[in-house]
């Protein structure tokens, strides 16, 4: 994006896909200053479901992300992997678990965050195909949107395995929310566009983590598990970390002007002068 666009008026939402392990966290923290300079995002929203060693998130990690300027964190099927996050999910912190989990499960599925006088509603949903979510994403999203009356923009993170469910959710919400962004598969798709009703859509933004693993895991271990069909202990790969996400720009309430993919390698470590 040209420098003049970065300083253009309007709202820009930078959404960052599943942060995987400490390598993903370091990549997020190293890329954010560059992306702030490049895009001047009003809001940064991050999916953090794999942030703690590849599975789940802890309050400390969430606080570290908020301290880096992240406005809200969304999660997914790994939400409850770390027990210490349960009370934090019920606090006032802007961290969400899918809205269509059971009401009895810790946390909530919507929040509103404010920056520069703009109110952004965030909704986290889980797909129902091949994932455990107690209630239908398609019925519960209506309840979730009802909780966000009067906000300026709405971002929906549809955390799902099946592309069909994500595409359908995009169409279902077209013209009613600013953006529907997909997460969970850790592989970015090439279908980012603004739908006819004005909703920005992408099936999956990808992950923030090691591109040279198998969706975050050391590739030798993933191949070994598939080859032998035996249980293998998985570790997070450290190779070739990238930040993956999408930038949504808006100039009207609840509508997007554009969506573009953000695919950025972690900046190299500064070398000491010789």
Minimal distance, residue 143 CB to Fe ion, in Å: 22
Residue 209 Cβ, how far from Fe ion at the closest point, in Å?
9
If binding is defined by CB under 5 A, does position 161 make contact with Fe ion? no
Residues in 16-35 that interact with Fe ion by CB under 5 A:
18
CA distance 192 to 205: 9
Which of 97, 184, 218, 255 is close enough to bind Fe ion by CB under 5 A?
184
Choose the stretch contacting Fe ion; rule: CB under 5 A; options: 107-115, 164-172, 181-189, 229-237.
Answer: 181-189
- Token reading at 148: 């966000």
Question: Stretches 7-15, 45-53, 54-62, 240-248: which one binds Fe ion (CB under 5 A)?
Answer: 45-53
74 binds Fe ion per the rule CB under 5 A = no
The span of 57-65, 81-89, 180-188, 233-241 binding Fe ion (CB under 5 A) equals 180-188
Reported as half-sphere exposure (CB side, CA atoms, 13 A), residue 11 has a value of 25
Which residue has the closest beta carbon to Fe ion? 18
Is 184 part of the annotated catalytic residue set? no
Residues that bind Fe ion (CB under 5 A): 18, 49-50, 76-77, 184
């Amino acid at each position: 994006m040209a420098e003049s666009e970065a300083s253009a008026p309007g709202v820009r939402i930078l959404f960052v896909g599943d942060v995987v392990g400490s390598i993903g966290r370091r990549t997020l923290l190293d890329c954010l200053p560059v992306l702030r300079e490049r895009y001047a995002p009003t809001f940064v929203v991050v999916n953090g479901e794999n942030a703690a060693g590849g599975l789940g998130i802890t309050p400390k990690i969430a606080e570290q992300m908020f301290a880096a300027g992240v406005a809200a964190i969304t999660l997914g099927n790994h939400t409850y992997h770390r027990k210490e996050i349960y009370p934090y999910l019920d606090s006032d912190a802007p961290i969400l678990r899918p809205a269509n989990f059971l009401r009895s499960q810790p946390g909530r599925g919507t929040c509103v965050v404010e920056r520069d006088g703009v109110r952004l509603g965030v909704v986290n949903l889980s797909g129902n195909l091949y994932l455990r979510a107690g209630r239908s994403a398609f019925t519960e999203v209506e309840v979730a949107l009802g909780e966000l009356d009067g906000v300026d923009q709405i971002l929906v993170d549809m955390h799902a395995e099946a592309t069909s469910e994500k595409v359908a959710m995009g169409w279902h919400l077209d013209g009613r929310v600013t953006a529907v962004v997909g997460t969970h598969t850790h592989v970015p798709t090439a279908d980012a566009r603004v739908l006819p009703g004005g909703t920005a859509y992408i099936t999956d933004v990808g992950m923030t983590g090691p591109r040279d693993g198998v969706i975050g895991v050391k590739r030798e271990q993933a191949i070994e598990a598939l080859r032998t069909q035996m249980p293998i202990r998985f570790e997070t790969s450290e190779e070739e970390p990238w930040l993956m996400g999408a930038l949504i720009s808006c100039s009207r309430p609840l509508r997007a002007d554009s969506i573009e993919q953000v695919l950025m390698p972690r900046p190299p470590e500064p070398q000491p002068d010789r």
